[in-house]
Structure 1
Amino acid sequence: MRISATFCREQEAIQRARAISEPLQSQRGIALAAASAWSKRAIAIDERIAAPGARDKLDTAIALEFAREEATRDDVDDADST
């Protein structure tokens, strides 16, 4: 399952709320670090989705792999029939 940018932003908000309500400084730091990590992940997801052709490259690579497998099967079938 892929994590959505929305989920990441929700987690960021939860961690920021924890940082505000946490009485211990060390725990506030951990919560803020977690919030920052969730924020960066959301941005990375948005950038990956927005990248032109990113999906096309993956689709092309998958199609090429299927074509290679099919060609290999055809070669084996031809060799078996001779």
Structure 2
Amino acid sequence: MRFTEKFCREQESLQIAKAAAEPLKNRQGIALDAAKAWDAAAKIAQKHEAGQQPLDRLDAAIVREFAEEGAAGVVDDEPAPDERIAAALR
């Protein structure tokens, strides 16, 4: 299943809103990482929809991996989620 850019942007916005409303730092980080993954997926979908570049197996695998990581709550070790929330809301 291919995601549309619109769907990916909606999911990204939802994750940013979750991060802004979440009092726990680790859960903020999870939501921001998910938002970042949806942003990457949206960029790939936009290129695909514009016909610039077909979504090949590798791209599809990357999109799927980002979505799975976001859903599983995989967090990287970035130290300042508050700064990432502020940047995402700008």
Shorter chain as normaliser: what TM range? 0.5 to 0.7
Report how many residues are paired.
54
Which protein has greater RCO, CA pairs closer than 8 Å, 6+ apart?
2
Aligned to 1:43: 43
Identity of aligned residues (%): 45
Shift of 1:48: 1.8
**Deviations 1:8-41 (CA, angstroms, capped at 9, x unpaired):** 1000000000000000000000000000100110
Shift of 1:3: 1.4
The within-5 A match list for 1:1-82 is 1-50=1-50, 51=52, 54=54
Unmatched tracts of structure 2, length 5 or more: 55-90
The one-letter amino acid paired with 1:29 is: G
Which structure has the highest helix share of the two?
Answer: 1
41-50 vs 9-18, which moves further: 41-50
**Deviations 1:51-74 (CA, angstroms, capped at 9, x unpaired):** 17x4xxxxxxxxxxxxxxxxxxxx
Unmatched tracts of structure 1, length 5 or more: 55-82
TM-score in terms of structure 1 length: 0.59
The structure 1 segments of at least 4 consecutive aligned residues displaced by more than 2 Å after TM superposition are none
Look at both structures and tell me which one has the larger radius of gyration over its CA atoms: 1
Taking the aligned partners of 2:42 and 2:33, their CA distance within structure 1 comes to 14
